[in-house]
Structure 1
Amino acid sequence: MTTPLLEVSDLRVAYPGRGFRARPVEILHGVSLTAHRGETLGLVGESGSGKTTIGRAVLGLVKASGGRILFGGVDITHATARTRRVLARDIQVVFQDPYTSLNPSLTIGDILSEPLVVQGATAQEARRRVRDLLDQVGLPKDASERLPREFSGGQRQRVAIARALAPEPKLIVCDEPVSALDLSTQARVLDLFIDIQRRTGVAYVFVSHDLAVVRHVSHRVSVVYKGDIVETGSAELVTAAPEHTYTRRLLLAAPVADPVEQGRRRAERHRLAEAEREREVATGAT
């Protein structure tokens, strides 16, 4: 059996508590997952569930208080800043907001060529690579001479994707990459992610609160609830016939055009939430 590209085992993350001598608050309670080469692993959950913290831990943006993170079989849990700079060739990120993730004072060409030059490419090599990147994400060649403010939200996110692709990474952590876009633009950007993966073989850890979005792009899905993974399986199975109550609630939260059906789903979601609360209270009492 091949070694997973990314393997997270019993990952724990705790943030400092508020106030003097406050105890740390554990956000992740021993999360385990794997992502293979060329695969998209979707992480789905509500705001505050801990899904983004998993991605940030993989990127080294938050420190793990327990567990291990292996990349290509190598332990990177507590990698140094120097090691992280080397890892940046293989692990990249696309952030949620295309408006704030790009430097407004740099041209698109400078934004895309900067990481290439830092990693040792000549100016000529960087220009050639920028042209290729713009073509990959469906932007015109003259985009390299323009500033981010001259582009729409969807186009800016394409630039952010191109920047992540620049060093030819093996893994890209996608942190809610389409949540700030309108629905039609979301669909085009999601299709772009899929097309890029088919052509390059890059793997994604795709973080989202939207089960429909995750279903569209993922091979497997892990559902995160209050710092734990409560369900993992194929995207088709988890999003069509979920086993965990929380996953069913997420599925029912997706809007539908029929007001009668929407009302029925809302009532069912409320019933499941009440049942979950009663179960948690009963478990805590025992």
Structure 2
Amino acid sequence: MTPTEATAPAEATVPAGDALLRVRDLRVSFPGRGLRAPHTEVLRGVSLDIRQGETLGLVGESGSGKTTIGRAVLGLVPARSGTITFAGERIDGAAPARRRALSRDLQVVFQDPYSSLNPSLTVGDTLAEPLLGHGIGAREARGRVGGLLERVHLPADAASRLPREFSGGQRQRVAIARALALRPRLVICDEPVSALDLTTQRTVLDLLLEIQEETGVAYLFVTHDLSVVRFMSHRVAVIRHGSLVEAGDARTVTTEPRHPYTRALMLSAPVADVAEQRRRRETARRLQEHTAPPTDSRG
């Protein structure tokens, strides 16, 4: 592999007519600490697309910028430049009223099932809240709550219980049901299983795949775990220091990665053999050093 091959910008794009979500040359900067501190560029010209019914896995280490991409799509952080187009409509910079309307089609499942649910609301009230907020009548909302609980394999009596009465995996099922309440076209899954034990992770991942098969919903699946992204995704984009370094179909990227950083991520996954784990970590360290991170852009 030549240095150019290892460091060339990557794009997780598809033909224009196939895209539900199109992100082009997205740049996001955060202000530094202090009144005169320079801004730090967190995303450096990211381009990616997602088709209807597809999962794009976005993988990278903590601080790589992967969560910021999802937040920019949701309008939670402003884009410094670039464009975000959803279903043919440009949505970066959309007014608050339009953002509220877009929440019918754009939803999110957060990482922590313990903090993402209001502890003072019953599960039924939590699931009914977005429905009522979009003008759906109380009777219809109550009827939909039962269907949502059934879809995520929770009993009907869960509606009358508080979040503290559920396990972490069950709470994440409630969070998924809430995201599905308005029948969205795209759900951003931000590390949705990283706070769960391995057995529960698999159960939640299977549920997300089942829902996608039934509804045709698309996922932007944000994670640091290549094994999870391999299981979930049709295509994978790898992000490092705010730039995509590799993108392609999930099987190729996770079994035959071209970029040293992607290979380092694979080698960072734990194995049972202590000596092998030590060897893998040393190899991963050398690969990380092979491509030095870019200098922060300021302005």
Give the TM-score category using the shorter length: over 0.9
- From 53, 57, 60, the counterpart of 1:42: 57
Shift in Å, 1:209: 0.7
The match for 1:19 among 34, 42, 63 is 34
Q: Which amino acid aligns with 1:255?
A: P
Gaps of 5+ in 1: 282-286
Corresponding position of 1:147: 162
Residue among 179, 198, 201 paired with 2:213:
198
Report the equivalent of 1:284: none
How far off its partner does 1:230 sit?
0.5
Whole-angstrom distance in 2 between the partners of 1:275 and 1:96:
31
1:75 and 2:90 aligned: yes
Paired AA for residue 285 in structure 2:
H
Deviation of 1:175 (Å): 0.6
Give the match for residue 24 of structure 2.
Answer: 9
Q: CA RMSD in A?
A: 1.3
Matched letter for residue 191 of structure 1: D
In structure 2, which of residues 245, 266, 276 is the aligned counterpart of residue 251 of structure 1? 266
The question of whether the paired residues in 2 share the 8 Å contact of 1:3 and 1:73 is answered with: no
User: Which residue does the alignment assign to 1:177?
Assistant: 192
Residue 241 of structure 2 contacts residue 294 of structure 2 at CA under 8 Å; is this kept in 1?
no
1:280 Cα deviation (Å)? 6.8
1:147–1:44 Cα change, 3 Å: same
| TM alignment of 1:1-286, pairs within 5 A | 2-277=17-292
Unmatched tracts of structure 2, length 5 or more: 1-14
Higher relative contact order (CA 8 A, sep 6+): 2
In 2, the alpha carbon distance for the partners of 1:85 and 1:11 equals: 22
SS in 2 for 1:35: strand
Question: Which 4+ runs in 1 deviate beyond 6 A?
Answer: none
**Count of matched residue positions in the alignment of Structure 1 and Structure 2:** 280
CA distance in 1, matches of 2:213, 2:23: 25
Secondary structure at the aligned position of 2:192 is classed as: coil
**Is the deviation greater in 68-77 or in 257-266?**
257-266
**DSSP-derived class of the 1:223 partner:** strand
Classify the secondary structure of the residue corresponding to 1:5: strand
Partner of 1:33: helix, strand, or coil?
strand
